[in-house]
Structure 1
Amino acid sequence: MKPARRGGSPMSFMSRSFGQLGSTVLDDDRLAALAPSIFAGDKHESRSERYSYIPTAEILAGMRAEGFEPTSAKQGHSRVPGKADFTKHMIRFRHRSNMDAKKEIGAVYPEVVIVNSHDGTSAYKVMAGLFRLVCLNGLLVSDRELSSVTVHHKGNVREQVIEGSYRVLQESRHAVEVAEHWSGLTLTQDMQNTLAESARVIRFGDESGEVSTPITADDLLRPRRRDDVGNDLWRTANRIQENVIRGGQSTWGRDANNRRRRVTTREVKGIDADVKINRALWMLNERMAGLLSA
């Protein structure tokens, strides 16, 4: 199903205002290219009549009408033939009231993150998020009060999602203040190592918490750019988060036959893993901030 084009000056204005900053507001054509399941024309055939089909495209239109603009999107994969067009997808929104916030490198913007599917694998989930300009990071705020809203496929879903988005946006704006607070908290090297070792378990640990990867805590602490060099909690957290989520660290390890082999970490692309890891990392940093503030 090809999405209808949206006209109007607000969209073109937003594209101009953020295109040069690496954060472009997305029109329907771009969204369809990134996550076609957003525009599924109906629920998947596996769903019963009791399943209320509320298209994400309808929620998208409602969010735009309320001033929320989509800035990124992705969808999951399915091995079931014919199900890929209905699978889980994620859209990140920024409210127009935050579009004109500070635009220098390192700026942090509050976002609302929506996850949904048309195949029954997900209810609507509305979560608080942050976007960091310098490296296009997308952080998710930990599951605290008001930071997450779940809306099941029944009743007046559109209004519930939009209402939840406003509630969650307030949490996202508060998280910007938290980020500023974290930038003033200095970590010792041992503290940085503790965060990185914990993140290593979150990303690579098995069910018992055992980690077999040769990727070290130092690898996760390594900055990718000069602006990320520093001992404060915010920059340390961002180095770890980007290295964990985006991957790309390479080192030498051993295979099952004890032969040397090159190991390179992969980017976290799955929506569930993205959400789970990001929130766990945020909670980890919150606890470190609590210890330092105490």
Structure 2
Amino acid sequence: MTSGDEAHEIILINAHDGTASYQMISGVFRFVCANGLFAGDTFGQAKVMHSGDAESKVIDAAYTVLEDADRIMNDVQEMKAVELHRDEQQAFAKAVHALRFEDQEKASISADQLLLPRRYEDRRGDLWSTFNVLQENTIKGGQRGYTRDTEGHRRRASTREVRGIDQSKALNRALWTLAEEMARIKGAPLASAA
């Protein structure tokens, strides 16, 4: 299912050596930035072991994940309708910053820097745009800032891209949960949070 600027996608996670099961997870792909994200935490996923009739199980699992496509894409539209005040965006960014950078004192960037959009289309104050800016900046990295070395001298640094699939999945799902909670606080509970 597509909604103009984005489409539902099925994200396939698989161990290269067959030691872990296939995982299929619902996601949303944004065309403007060619950026995909995981949607939700307790729905839109299926696992298939690498044994028996795996091929037909994978096909069945794909249909299971597709059942949530309409619900997820409706949630995207709901998020677009929720306007956030600047202080709400900053609270969202602080929570995301704490998720991404365990040691807040050593983080090279501030939470506010996570709110800086990379493209004109993301300069809106709705929940969906805020969520996507935070997600892209958190996962892709590249923001420039400063750190201090062991002697206390400032040096330039930039945030690193999250490359590990497990960390990316955990961060994406935590971000989705935060967006669901922000929608709930703003009086627009999402179908996926039900």
TM-score, reference length from structure 1: 0.61
Aligned counterpart, 2:75: 178
**Counterpart of 2:26 in 1: which secondary structure?**
strand
Q: Distance in 2 between matches of 1:253 and 1:243?
A: 18
| d(CA) in 2 for partners of 1:256, 1:158 | 54
1:140 paired residue among 22, 25, 38: 38
Any stretches of 5+ residues in structure 1 without a counterpart?
1-97
9, 12, 15: which is aligned to 1:117?
15
Distance 1:278 1:269 in 2: 12
What SS does the corresponding residue of 1:193 show, helix, strand or coil? helix
1:160 matches 2:54: no
Tell me the amino acid that sits aligned with residue 75 of structure 2: V
The change in CA–CA distance for 1:102 and 1:194 in structure 2 (over 3 A counts) is closer
Superposed CA offset, 1:113-134 (max 9, x none): 1111242542111100110011
Unpaired runs of 5+ residues, structure 2, are 189-194
- Which residues in structure 2 correspond to 1:205-224 (within 5 Å)? 205=102, 212-224=106-118
Work out whether 1:243 is the aligned partner of 2:137.
yes
Counterpart of 1:257 in 2: which secondary structure?
A: coil
- Tell me the SS of whatever aligns to 2:81: coil
> Larger C-alpha radius of gyration, 1 or 2?
1
Give the structure, 1 or 2, with the largest relative contact order (CA under 8 Å, sep 6 or more): 2
After superposition, residues 274-289 of structure 1 pair within 5 angstroms as 274-289=168-183
1:194 to 76, 81, 91: 91
From 110, 123, 127, the equivalent of 1:233 is 127
Instruction: Give distance in 2, aligned partners of 1:293 and 1:144.
Output: 21
Q: Match for residue 192 of structure 2?
A: none
8 A Cα contact 1:130 1:172, kept in partner: no
AA of the residue aligned to 2:45:
S
3-state DSSP of counterpart to 1:134? coil
- Residue 128 of structure 1 is aligned with which of 9, 12, 26? 26
**Deviation of the 1:137 alpha carbon:** 1.2
Contact 2:123–2:129 (Cα < 8 Å) also in 1: yes
2-side partners of 1:250 and 1:116: how far apart? Answer: 33
Give the aligned residue type for 2:100.
R
CA RMSD of aligned residues (A): 1.7
Distance in 2 of aligned mates of 1:169 and 1:256: 50
Question: What is the CA-CA distance between 1:161 and the residue it aligns to?
Answer: 1.5
TM-score under structure 2 length normalisation? 0.90
Structure 2 letter corresponding to 1:179: V
Aligned match of 1:84: none
One-letter amino acid matched to 1:280: A
| Separation of aligned partners in 1, 2:9 and 2:123 | 25
Percent identity (aligned) = 39
The equivalent of 2:154 in structure 1 is 260
Cα distance in 1 for partners of 2:67, 2:87 equals 34
Contact 1:141–1:172 under 8 Å retained in 2: no
Which letter does structure 2 place at the counterpart of 1:109? A
Aligned residues: 188
Residues 1:192 and 1:121: Cα distance change in structure 2 (over 3 Å): farther
2:153 aligned partner, one-letter code: R
CA contact (8 A) 1:250 1:262 kept: yes
Whole-angstrom distance in 2 between the partners of 1:234 and 1:117: 31
- Cα distance in 2, alignment partners of residues 149 and 137 from structure 1: 22
- The whole-number CA distance in structure 2 between the counterparts of 1:281 and 1:240 is 8
Matched with 1:4 is none
> SS at the partner of 2:59?
helix
